[in-house]
Amino acid sequence: MADQLNETVIRRVIQHDLRLGDRGRKRDPALLEEVFRLTCRYTGQTPSYDTLAREAHRALRANVGPQRVNHYLRFLNESLLLRLVSPLEIRLKKSRGFPKICLADHSLRASWLQEEIPLDPQALSGAPHLTTVAGHLAESVTGALLCTIGGLDVAHFPARKDEPEVDFVLTIGTRRIPLEVKYQKTVDPLRDTEALRAFLEKSVNNAPFGVLVTQTTVTVDDPRLVCLPLSSLMLMR
């Protein structure tokens, strides 16, 4: 199944859809494969273009610059193999940070890297060393799902001075809804909701409530926060 997915989906985009690029601009299939491999490794995260360029240079022993990596990321985004979630711009501030990488489907990562990361809570409890990677993957799955909802603008909120990072911010009209993914066995009701509460308490954000996506059903003593397991969120597909 993994080989079939690699050949019929991923390599089809990388090798066959290259011709759909800008006229006169040639893309390097080897570099595109490497950039996609890196997005699988960094899914659910916001690596800088410099970081990705250094890793691609190390793997291919070729001159790879951050602008080229950015261009290839945009191509993969347009191909729908992944979604790039941009940083949120508030109060006309210049955009800061880099896009968050969310794979269109986590099975793409499993097939391309030949690496299974369990999201099922019971299976994950038997492999606690994979908890951090599973958390990034859960964030990727959440972001990819949110990007498919029509009429919803999805961004992420990078950490700023006195303002903690928020995994996702959903904008509907003039309202913003912060969303945090805490895919772990236990959730601390204060520490793990700090980013949501900080975002809600800034009136300029115009946020009526926040969402906490978890591994299992949890409750927190704050009427402004809605908690739901990732499995329940996925029912929206």
Contact indicator for 177, 170 with CB cutoff of 8 Å? yes
Q: Are 179 and 169 in contact (CB under 8 A)?
A: yes
Average pLDDT along the chain: 90
Q: Contact, 81 vs 174, CB < 8 A? A: no
Which domains does the chain show, CATH number per domain? Answer: 1-116 (1.10.10.10), 131-237 (3.40.1350.10)
Tens digit of pLDDT for each residue in 123-163?
999 999 999 999 999 999 999 999 999 999 999 999 988 89
| Helices 29-41/66-78 angle, 10° precision | 80
Selection from 14, 19, 18, 30 nearest residue 62 by Cα: 30
pLDDT at 24: 45
Asked whether residue 237 carries a pLDDT value surpassing 90, the answer given is no
Structure tokens at 178: 């912060």
Percent of the chain with pLDDT over 70: 87
Q: How far apart are CA 116 and CA 174, in angstroms?
A: 40
pLDDT digits (tens, 9 = 90+) for 25-69: 567 889 999 999 999 999 999 999 999 999 999 999 999 999 999
